[in-house]
């Protein structure tokens, strides 16, 4: 029983030691992860131990055979590769320019020694320099404002947030319109709501030129920054004004027109039918030149004049014609009537 326990204990210890050993082995062979965008450059930095400052350094691909060596510090520039050894910091950096998808894969940083060289594994990821498959569509109007909301992961809460024009992640940060480090300028304002893990960029005084693609960016200290895309359409104002200004204006005009038509119709209905009325108003205008009248005079006159054809209506046709003729021509007659009204 006792010996069995001892056996169990030593077995557990053995397993524990094996585990520790495995972790140590894997951790010593730490892989350097590097990412870059297609068409852009990437830096691969590898550190080395004290005493190796004057040794030759190199970068190689795959299994690091002789034909796999891409560049060495003895020839600092070759094809799309360049190398620089910072001996003070004991870091050598290889720059790979104009990346393409075929550059992705496994590399080794090597230090040439007598005997076996030292190696550090490097994994390079190459991503297309465009974002994203999905984008949020936003619309607004000229002169107005708009808000672009960008969600982010909880791990990015304290990281730098920014927004830029276009669809290129590689240049987004250096061309940022606004960042969470400097949250306000003439046209843009950035607010970060860490609780709902969302930052909002408010754009004011919109013009047609503000239409287009935008990228929300979140800076990562390791690896590539994280992006989401938005598409903004700033619409022409005139169409909008037609709706809110011109349509009511037309309605008002129509209303006024209707009002006048109704008034005219009402006037017609109130009048005593007969030729006399309109004719007499015409003659009244001619009379006006010579005679000073007040409104009461005119009204009195019109009333009287409009009655005249009626008075004659029981006459024969020639009599009626006569009355019309008289109304048209005899100004003196009207004058005398007005004087008559005055005097009465
Ligand atoms: C690579 O390193 C060089 C030298 O430090 C620097 O000028 C360049 O901007 C770096 N490139 C990238 C893509 O980080």
Residue 294 falls inside a structural domain: yes
Give yes or no: residues 121 and 31 share one domain: yes
Give yes or no: residues 123 and 181 share one domain: no
Residue 18 falls inside a structural domain: no
Domain count, the chain: 3
229, β-bridge pairs? 135, 215
- Nearest protein Cα to ligand 1, atom 6: 43
CATH of the domain at 62: 2.60.40.10
The vertex-15 CA angle with 13 and 20, nearest 5°, equals 95
Contact between 281 and 328 under an 8 Å Cβ cutoff? The reply is: no
Give yes or no: residues 99 and 153 share one domain: no
Among 103, 127, 151, where does a domain finish?
127
Residue 269 falls inside a structural domain: no
Per-10-residue mean pLDDT, the chain, length 344: 52 52 51 96 96 96 90 91 97 97 96 93 96 94 95 96 97 97 94 96 96 97 95 83 74 90 82 48 46 46 48 46 44 47 46
Give yes or no: residues 55 and 145 share one domain: no
Q: Which atom of ligand 1 is nearest to the CA of 42?
A: 13
Give yes or no: residues 139 and 229 share one domain: yes
Among 235, 252, 271, where does a domain finish?
235
Q: Element (H or E) spanning 230, and its range? A: strand 226-235
Give yes or no: residues 123 and 139 share one domain: no
d(CA 186, CA 170): 25
Mutate to test the pocket of ligand 1, among 36, 43, 220 (most ligand atoms within 8 A of CB): 43
pLDDT at 77: 87
Residue 145 falls inside a structural domain: yes
Mutate to test the pocket of ligand 1, among 39, 95, 125, 126 (most ligand atoms within 8 A of CB): 95
Give yes or no: residues 36 and 122 share one domain: yes
Question: Which residue segment(s) compose the domain that 54 sits in?
Answer: 27-127
pLDDT at 317: 47
Residue 21 falls inside a structural domain: no
pLDDT at 241: 63
Residue 335 falls inside a structural domain: yes
Over its C-alpha atoms, the chain yields an Rg (Å, rounded) of: 48
Give yes or no: residues 145 and 229 share one domain: yes
- Nearest protein Cα to ligand 1, atom 1: 43
Q: Tell me, in angstroms, the distance from the centre of ligand 1 to residue 213's CA.
A: 27
Give yes or no: residues 229 and 299 share one domain: no
Token digits for 77? 């520039």
Q: Element (H or E) spanning 95, and its range? A: strand 91-96
Residue 254 falls inside a structural domain: no
Helix and strand numbers, DSSP H then E, in the chain: 8, 17
pLDDT at 267: 81
Among 93, 127, 161, where does a domain finish?
127
Residue 196 falls inside a structural domain: yes
Contact between 142 and 241 under an 8 Å Cβ cutoff? The reply is: no
Give yes or no: residues 211 and 298 share one domain: no
Pocket of ligand 1 (CB under 6 A): 41-43, 93, 95
pLDDT at 237: 77
Q: Which atom of ligand 1 is nearest to the CA of 84?
A: 4
Give yes or no: residues 335 and 296 share one domain: yes
Give yes or no: residues 119 and 150 share one domain: no
């Amino acid at each position: 029983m006792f010996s069995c326990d001892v056996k169990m204990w030593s077995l557990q210890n053995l397993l524990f030691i094996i585990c520790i050993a495995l972790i140590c082995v894997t951790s010593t062979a730490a892989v350097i992860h590097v990412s870059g965008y297609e068409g852009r450059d990437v830096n691969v930095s590898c550190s080395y131990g004290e005493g190796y400052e004057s040794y030759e350094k190199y970068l190689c691909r795959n299994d690091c055979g002789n034909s796999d060596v891409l560049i060495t510090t003895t020839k600092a520039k070759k094809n799309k590769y360049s190398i620089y050894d910072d001996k003070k910091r004991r870091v050598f950096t290889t720059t790979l320019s104009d990346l393409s998808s075929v550059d992705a894969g496994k590399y080794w940083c090597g230090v040439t020694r007598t005997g076996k060289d030292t190696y550090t594994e490097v994994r390079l990821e190459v991503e297309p320099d465009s974002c994203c498959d999905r984008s949020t569509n936003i619309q607004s109007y000229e002169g107005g404002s708009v808000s672009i909301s960008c969600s982010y992961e909880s791990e990015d809460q304290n990281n730098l947030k920014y927004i830029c024009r276009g669809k290129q992640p590689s240049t987004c940060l250096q061309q940022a319109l606004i960042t969470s480090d400097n949250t306000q300028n003439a046209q843009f304002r950035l607010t970060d709501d860490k609780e709902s893990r969302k930052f909002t960029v408010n754009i004011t005084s919109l013009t047609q030129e503000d239409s287009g693609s935008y990228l929300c960016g979140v800076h990562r200290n390791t690896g590539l920054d994280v992006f989401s895309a938005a598409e903004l359409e700033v619409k022409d104002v005139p169409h909008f004004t037609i709706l809110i200004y011109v349509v009511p204006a037309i309605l008002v005009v129509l209303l006024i027109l209707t009002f006048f038509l109704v008034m005219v119709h009402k006037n017609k209905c109130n009048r005593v039918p007969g030729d006399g009325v309109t004719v007499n108003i015409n003659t009244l205008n001619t009379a006006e030149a010579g005679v000073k009248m007040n409104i009461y005079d005119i009204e009195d006159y019109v009333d009287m004049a409009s009655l005249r054809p009626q008075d004659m209506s029981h006459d024969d046709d020639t009599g009626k014609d006569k009355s019309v003729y008289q109304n048209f021509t005899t100004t003196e007659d009207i004058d005398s009537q007005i004087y008559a009204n005055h005097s009465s």
